[in-house]
Amino acid sequence: MQLKELKDTMLVPDREVLLNRLVKINHTDVLLISITLEQQTHKLWTLRKLPERSPGPDEEESVYESEETFSNRELMQRHLREDTVLDNQQEFISRMIIQGQSMTFHSSESTYGMEQNPTFYMRLQHFIENGMELAGFEEVELERLSLTCYEQESSEPFPDLDLDQELDIALKFDRTFCAIPVHTDPIVVEFGDSQNETKYSFHDPFCQKKRFFYVNAWTRYDIWEETQKTFENPASEGFTAEEWQRFKEQRMEVNKSVCSKDQVLALVQYESEDNIQLNFYAQTYLDAKPLPSSGMSSTSLFFASDHEFGPHGLKTRVDSVGPVDRTFEGTIVVELMSYYAELPEKTIKI
C-alpha cells in the first residue's frame, strides 16, 4: 500500500458533530457515533455488535469447507440461517431526523474488526480520540464489531445544529421484505393442468400463525428458447454493436448458471393465503451440487400466471423450482423452504 492510498482510507473530517446515542435496532445495540462533513460528503457513523452465532448441527465439522462441497439445500439453509441470525433485513437507516432537520441516506458501507483491516482500526481510533463513549462495547471482541457509515443525499445540506439544545433524533426505516425459513413435508406435483385439491399448511414463525396454500400443477419454461428469441431481435436502441454482443455473451453465461442446454425450468403454480410469496424448490435441485459459477452475479427470474385467480379462488402465483430434462412430463417433488414477509415502515425515536 502506498502512503497516498493509506491517506485515502483515513477519516479527516472538515466538520464533525459527536452524537454518542445508544439505540436498539432489531434487538442489537447500535451506537450513533457522529455525523461528519468531509470533501463535500456528509455521513452518519454507527458502531454495532454482531450477534454471536453458534454453528448449526451440520456445520461443526465443515466450517472451513468451500461452498462448492455443499448441496443447494445446505447452502440455502445456511444463507437463511445467517439472514435470520444477523436480522439484517431492516437495519438500513433510510433517514434520520435530528432537531427537525433531515438526513436522507442513499447508501451505506461497513467495515469489520479483522486483523487484516487497518481502515477499521484507524477510523475507530479517530472516534475514540474525539470522545466516543465505549459503554457497553468495552468488553466486546473486535471481530464482533461493525463500523458503518451512511452517506447523505448530495442535494441535502449538512445539518445546522444548535449544540446547546437537546439533539432530538428519530431514525426511519423503509418498508422491506425478508425471507422467513419454514418447513413442510415434501409435496408431489403433477404436470399440466391437473388440479390438486389438497390444502397444505405451515407454521409462520414470524407472525406466529398457521398459514395455508395450494399447489396446483407444474409447467415448463424454456429459458434457452426465450433467450434465442431475444437474440433474433435487432440490437436494442442505445446499444452499440459491441455492447449488444457483450450483453448476449453475459446472458448466455447467466443461463448456464441456471440450467444446461438440455434442460428447462420447472414452474410451479400455487395459491397462498394473503397472496404471500412462497419459495419452492424441486427436491432433486436441493439435493444436487450447485452448477459451476462463471464468476458473474446471479440473476432473479420472475414469472406471472396466465390466470389471475386459481381454482380455489385465490390469486395465482408462479415460482421456478429448478431445472428438469427438456422432455420430462412426470411428477416432481417440491419442498417449501421459505416465504417473504413484509416489514412495514418503522420509526425509532431516541
Q: Could you read off the pLDDT of 135-187 as tens digits, one per residue?
A: 788 888 888 899 999 999 999 999 999 999 999 999 999 988 888 999 899 99
**306 assigned to some structural domain:** yes
For residue 296, being part of any structural domain is answered with yes
Residues 170, 91 within the same domain: yes
From 131, 153, 174, give the residue that closes a domain: 174
Q: How far is residue 240's CA from residue 236's CA, in Å, rounded to a whole number?
A: 9
Q: How far apart are CA 186 and CA 183, in angstroms?
A: 9
Residue 64 in domain: no
Q: What are phi and psi of 73, to 5 degrees?
A: -65, -45
328 and 203 in a single domain? The answer is: yes
Q: Which of 227-236, 260-269, 296-305 has the lowest mean pLDDT?
A: 296-305
pTM over 0.75: no
Stretch 117-133: mean pLDDT: 91
Is 82 part of a structural domain of the chain? no
| pLDDT over 70, % of the chain | 85
Domain identity same for 220 and 270:
yes
Among the candidates 174, 196, 227, a domain finishes at 174
Looking at the structure, tell me whether residues 140 and 119 fall in a common domain.
Answer: yes
119 and 40 assigned to the same domain: yes
**What total number of domains does the chain contain?**
2
Is residue 215 in some structural domain? yes
Residue 77 lies in a domain: no
Examine the domain organization and report whether 239 and 167 are in the same domain: no
The fraction of the chain above a pLDDT of 90, given in percent, is: 48
Residues 161 and 297 in one domain: no
Last residue in a domain, options 174, 197, 219: 174
SS3 assignment, position 324: strand
**Domain membership of residue 318 as a residue range:** 180-342
Q: How confident is the model at residue 296 (pLDDT cuts 50, 70, 90)?
A: very low
169 and 186 co-located in one domain? no
Tell me the pLDDT of the chain averaged across its residues: 85
Collect all residues with Cβ–Cβ distance below 8 Å to 242 and sequence separation of at least 6: none
Give the count of alpha carbons within 13 A of 259, CB side only.
22
Residue 345 has pLDDT above 60, yes or no: yes
Q: Looking at the structure, do residues 39 and 146 belong to the same domain, yes or no?
A: yes
* Residue 63, domain member (yes or no): no
If asked whether residues 94 and 196 sit together in one domain, one would say no
Confirm whether 72 is domain-assigned: no
d(CA 215, CA 209): 20
Indicate whether 143 and 206 sit together in one domain.
no
Residues 263 and 137 in one domain: no
Q: Summarize pLDDT for 259-285 with one digit per residue, the tens.
A: 889 999 999 999 999 999 999 999 999
